[in-house]
């Protein structure tokens, strides 16, 4: 028999009461931890998106905006394509304030050809690219050869395996880290390989280009503006000076996403605060009621020789155990819901969603655990104080 | 160990609108000797429970002091007093006082665990003395009133205290259990402890070495009751 086992025995003796309190603590942990992870995932997603874009301006054919939701293709990897004459790149390079230009090719895989759904194929120019290559380098440092591809993190294809695209065997030489966006389901390769695929599609009679040769077109041009130039001004100049194209500021593309993310993050924070306050009130009320119910029990402990400090420690130990169990349950619950369903959350919200890494997640878990433990301790502190100060003699007399 | 109380007084404010101040104990002196069973008789509300609560260090008096040997127990802080109480004082409270979450043997061992003492053998010995060996693993809700009272006696004795206070230890017990409990306390006194029993059970007089009587918060002398401080 050890005094230290008494709080545990007390909790086990009233399983329903204990379970209810553990549930409250678990709910609070899940709200705090889950909310932190969700908010961070959305923030990570946005940052990843900004990083991924890497360009100040993206130039696309004028009709692209009408044909597809431009933002969806560029930011979410929604399958789609459009083309313009490749001479546009030279014209853009001549515009004042333009520092770098790099063309990209978009193509969509044929239905059910390689994957369970159509995927976006994005071609980039090995020599001039400054947006995709830095990202690819994190997982693949070599130079992409003919018919070699790099797959997004959400595709099931593994490195070394081949994918058949328009009948062409393409070898996966790398797999990207997750971005938390639809770009995770895209395939990345060189412009040359995309041209090969377009030609193959034409041979199969499912060509995406009716009149032009794939060698004469590009889908978009990514532009980096020189330091000291106003990006909006450069974009405006492009729109004025080059016919048939539209220059879009990347920052303006993600403004809507950032605004929605900010609103959702605000909602998450408000929900977190509400749950925390509610749980704190319920726990305080519960401990207070229990303090009233257990007055005689604590008076008996006092007659046995428990000091006021030991009585307080008894209450705080019980509260600590309840919170610890609630924290474990809450963290488990969150881990089983928020992390595995990140992709679903991304699809449902239409927002980039990139779960934080182990270190950040551990930090959030620790902070949530600390918040719940402190709340539990504070909720029970008053009860502990009341019980330890109660008049033992009076309580014992009341009981008879 | 000689225990002596000097000019003890206890007043408290009654709960409720009246806020009346009640004098539960008035200028009470008493001394208790080792090896003797002192019985304090008194009607309900006479102040006898207040007196033992103060003598046992459980309740602080409004006036006066309690000395165990040369030590004034109310000069200690709560932690020191609690440690002193656990080592030197056994207390049997009124009514059912077993902790329902602990078995019989765990209840008996609880005071020893507070000072980190391994008293398993002593607990078994006490359980045998109080006739609860077979119920050692039972929970309090499985015990009768008499068994619960005997359990409280065993728990009070586990740390071999120098003084035992028992508040109405035979309340609601049948004759046989009353005799059993009083006999146990008498034997404890015979073993060298100072035992104080507060009761209105007149049959306790037969076991007493010293008899005192409380009335209106005032202690009156009877058989050997030492009101005067030596």
Kindly state whether residue B189 falls inside one of the protein's structural domains: yes
Residue A67: predicted pLDDT = 53
**H or E element at residue B3:** strand B3-13
**What letter would DSSP give residue B168?**
S
Under 8 Å CB pairs connecting chains A and B tally to: 81
Kindly state whether residue B105 falls inside one of the protein's structural domains: no
Kindly state whether residue B152 falls inside one of the protein's structural domains: no
What is the residue range of B85's domain? 3-94+163-221
A12 touches chain B (CB under 8 A): yes
3-class SS letters over chain A: CCHHHHHHHHHHHCHHHHHHHHHHHHHHHHHHHHHHHHHHHHHHHHHHHHHHHCCCEEEEECCHHHHCCHHHHHHHCCCCCCCEECCHHHHHHCCCCEEEEEEEEEEECCCCCCCCCCCEEEEECCCCCCCCHHHHCCCCCCCCCCCEEEECCCCCCCCCCEEEECCEEEEEEEECCCCCCHHHHCEEEEHHHHHHHHHHHHHCCCCCCCCCCHHHEECEEEEEECCCCCHHHHHHHHHHHCCCEEEEEHHHHHHHHHHHHHHHHHHHHHHHHHHHHHHHHHHHHHHHHHHHHCHHHHHHHHHHCCCHHHHHHHHHHHHHHHHHHHHHHHHHHHHHHCCCCHHHHHHHHCCCCCCCCHHHHHHHHHHHHHHHHHHHHHHHHHHHHHHHHCCHHHHHHHCC
Residue A111: predicted pLDDT = 59
Residue B230: predicted pLDDT = 40
Percent of chain B with pLDDT over 70: 94
**Whole-number Å distance between alpha carbons of A43 and B72:** 66
| Cβ-defined contact of B114 to A305 (cutoff 8 Å) | yes
DSSP assignment of B82-115 equals: HHHHHHHEEEE-SS----TTS-HHHHHHHHHHHT
**Whole-number Å distance between alpha carbons of B31 and A141:** 93
Q: Considering CB atoms only, which of B58, B89, B102 is closest to A393? A: B58
- Give per-residue pLDDT as tens, B65-78: 999 988 999 999 99
**What letter would DSSP give residue B181?**
H
Nearest chain B Cα distance for residue A261, angstroms? 51
| Cβ-defined contact of B79 to A309 (cutoff 8 Å) | yes
Angle at B52 between CA B47 and CA B53, to 5 degrees: 95
**Whole-number Å distance between alpha carbons of A253 and A1:** 67
**Whole-number Å distance between alpha carbons of B155 and B149:** 10
Kindly state whether residue B81 falls inside one of the protein's structural domains: yes
Q: Using DSSP, state whether B219 is helix, strand or coil.
A: strand
Measured distance between the N- and C-terminal CA atoms of chain A, rounded to whole angstroms: 29
Residue A185: predicted pLDDT = 82
**Whole-number Å distance between alpha carbons of A22 and A343:** 30
- Is residue A102 within 8 A of residue A124, CB to CB? The reply is yes
**Whole-number Å distance between alpha carbons of A200 and A345:** 36
Q: How would you class B56 by CB atoms within 10 Å of its CB: exposed for 0-12, middle for 13-18, buried for 19 or more?
A: buried
Residue A97: predicted pLDDT = 93
**Beta strands at B210-215 and B37-42: parallel, antiparallel or unpaired:** parallel
Question: What residue in A sits closest to B80 (Cα-Cα)?
Answer: A307
**Whole-number Å distance between alpha carbons of A353 and A145:** 32
Q: Does the pLDDT of residue B135 top 60, yes or no?
A: yes
In a mutagenesis test of the A interface, which of B88, B114, B126 is the best target, namely the one with the most A β-carbons within 10 Å?
B114
β-sheet with B71-72: strand ranges across = B21-32, B3-13, B63-68, B71-72
> For chain B, what percentages of helix, strand and coil (3-state, to nearest 5) are there?
35, 25, 35
Number of domains in chain B: 1
Closest CA to A5 of A317, A296, A290: A317
Closest CA to A304 of B151, B141, B131: B151
Angle at A211 between CA A210 and CA A216, to 5 degrees: 115
Tracing tokens 């004469």 back to the chain, one arrives at A216
Residues paired with residue B218 on neighbouring β-strands, in sequence order? B215
Kindly state whether residue B31 falls inside one of the protein's structural domains: yes
Residues paired with residue A61 on neighbouring β-strands, in sequence order? A245
In a mutagenesis test of the A interface, which of B58, B116, B158 is the best target, namely the one with the most A β-carbons within 10 Å?
B58
Domain CATH code at residue B171: 3.40.50.300
| Cβ-defined contact of A391 to B100 (cutoff 8 Å) | no
Distance of CA A146 to the CA centre of its chain: 34
Q: Which residues contact A340 (CB under 8 A, 6 or more apart)?
A: none
Residue A94: predicted pLDDT = 92
Kindly state whether residue B200 falls inside one of the protein's structural domains: yes
Closest CA to B142 of B185, B179, B107: B107
Kindly state whether residue B227 falls inside one of the protein's structural domains: no
Q: Using DSSP, state whether B4 is helix, strand or coil.
A: strand
| Cβ-defined contact of A303 to B93 (cutoff 8 Å) | yes
| Cβ-defined contact of B101 to A305 (cutoff 8 Å) | no
- pLDDT 10s per residue in chain A (400 long)? 677 888 999 899 889 989 999 999 998 899 889 888 888 888 887 777 776 667 889 898 888 766 556 666 666 666 778 888 889 999 999 999 999 999 988 888 765 455 666 788 888 888 898 887 777 776 777 788 888 998 888 888 888 888 888 888 889 998 887 777 777 888 889 888 988 888 888 787 776 666 678 888 888 899 999 999 999 999 999 999 998 898 988 877 667 677 777 787 788 888 888 888 888 888 888 888 887 888 888 889 999 999 988 888 888 899 999 999 999 999 998 888 877 777 777 767 667 777 888 898 999 999 999 999 998 888 888 888 887 777 787 777 664 4
Residue B20: predicted pLDDT = 79
- Give per-residue pLDDT as tens, B187-203: 999 999 999 999 888 88
Angle at A11 between CA B144 and CA A378, to 5 degrees: 130
Q: Does the pLDDT of residue B91 top 90, yes or no?
A: yes
All residues of chain A having their beta carbon less than 8 Å from the beta carbon of residue B200 are: none
Write the ipTM: 0.88
Q: Which residue would you say has higher pLDDT here, B27 or B98?
A: B98
**Beta strands at B194-199 and B37-42: parallel, antiparallel or unpaired:** parallel
Residue B229: predicted pLDDT = 43
All residues of chain B having their beta carbon less than 8 Å from the beta carbon of residue A303 are: 56, 58, 91, 93, 97
- Is residue A92 within 8 A of residue A223, CB to CB? The reply is yes
Kindly state whether residue B193 falls inside one of the protein's structural domains: yes
């Amino acid at each position: 028999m050890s005094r230290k086992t008494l709080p545990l025995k007390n909790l086990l003796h009233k399983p329903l009461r204990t379970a209810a309190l553990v549930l409250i603590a678990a709910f609070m942990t899940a709200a705090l931890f889950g909310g932190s992870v969700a908010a961070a995932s959305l923030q990570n997603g946005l940052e990843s998106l900004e990083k991924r874009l890497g360009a100040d301006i993206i130039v696309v054919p004028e009709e692209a905006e009408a044909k597809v939701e431009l933002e969806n293709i560029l930011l979410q990897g929604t399958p789609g394509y459009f083309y313009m004459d490749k001479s546009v790149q030279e014209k853009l390079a001549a515009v004042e304030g333009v520092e770098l230009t790099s063309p990209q090719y978009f193509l969509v895989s044929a239905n059910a050809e390689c994957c369970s759904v159509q995927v976006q194929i994005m071609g980039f120019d090995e020599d001039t690219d400054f947006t995709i290559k830095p990202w690819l380098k994190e997982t693949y440092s070599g130079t992409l050869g003919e018919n070699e591809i790099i797959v997004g993190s959400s595709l099931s294809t593994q490195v070394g395996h081949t994918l058949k695209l328009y009948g062409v065997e393409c070898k996966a030489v790398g797999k990207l880290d997750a971005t938390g966006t639809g770009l995770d389901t895209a395939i990345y390769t060189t412009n040359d390989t995309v041209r090969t695929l377009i030609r193959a599609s034409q041979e199969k009679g499912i060509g995406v280009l009716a009149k032009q040769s794939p060698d004469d077109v590009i889908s978009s041009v990514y532009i980096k503006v020189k330091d000291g130039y106003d990006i909006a001004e450069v974009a405006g100049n492009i729109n004025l000076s080059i016919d048939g194209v539209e220059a879009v500021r990347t920052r303006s593309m993600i403004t809507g996403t950032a605004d929605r993310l900010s609103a959702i993050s605000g909602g998450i924070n408000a929900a977190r605060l509400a749950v925390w306050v509610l749980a704190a009130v319920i726990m305080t009320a519960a401990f207070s009621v229990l303090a009233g119910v257990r007055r005689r029990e604590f008076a008996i402990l006092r007659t046995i020789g428990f000091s006021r400090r030991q009585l307080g420690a008894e209450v705080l130990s019980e509260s600590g155990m309840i919170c610890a169990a609630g924290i474990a349950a809450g963290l488990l619950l969150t881990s089983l819901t928020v992390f595995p369903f990140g992709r679903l959350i991304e699809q449902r919200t239409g927002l980039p969603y990139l779960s934080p890494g182990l270190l950040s997640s551990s930090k959030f878990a620790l902070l949530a655990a600390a918040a719940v433990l402190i709340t539990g301790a504070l909720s029970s502190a008053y009860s502990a104080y009341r019980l330890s100060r109660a008049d033992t003699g009076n309580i014992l007399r009341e009981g008879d | 160990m000689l225990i002596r109380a000097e000019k003890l007084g206890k007043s408290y404010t009654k709960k409720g609108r009246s806020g009346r101040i009640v004098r539960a104990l008035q200028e009470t002196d008493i001394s208790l000797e080792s090896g003797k069973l002192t019985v304090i008789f008194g009607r309900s509300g006479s102040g006898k429970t207040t007196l033992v609560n103060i003598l046992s260090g459980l309740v602080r008096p409004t006036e006066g002091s309690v000395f165990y040997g040369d030590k004034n127990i109310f000069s200690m802080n709560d932690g020191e007093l609690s440690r002193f109480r656990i080592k030197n004082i056994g207390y049997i409270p009124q009514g059912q006082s077993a902790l329902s979450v602990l078995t019989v043997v765990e209840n008996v061992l609880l005071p020893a665990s507070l000072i980190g003492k391994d008293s398993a053998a002593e607990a078994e010995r006490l359980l045998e003395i109080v006739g609860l060996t077979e119920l050692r693993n039972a929970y309090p809700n499985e015990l009768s009133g008499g068994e619960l009272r005997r359990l409280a006696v065993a728990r009070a004795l586990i740390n071999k205290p120098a003084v035992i206070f028992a508040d109405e230890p035979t309340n609601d017990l049948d004759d046989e259990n009353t005799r059993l409990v009083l006999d146990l306390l008498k034997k404890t006194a015979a073993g060298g402890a100072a035992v104080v029993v507060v009761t209105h059970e007149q049959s306790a007089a037969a076991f007493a070495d010293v008899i005192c009587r409380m009335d209106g918060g005032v202690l009156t002398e009877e058989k050997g009751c030492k009101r005067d401080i030596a």
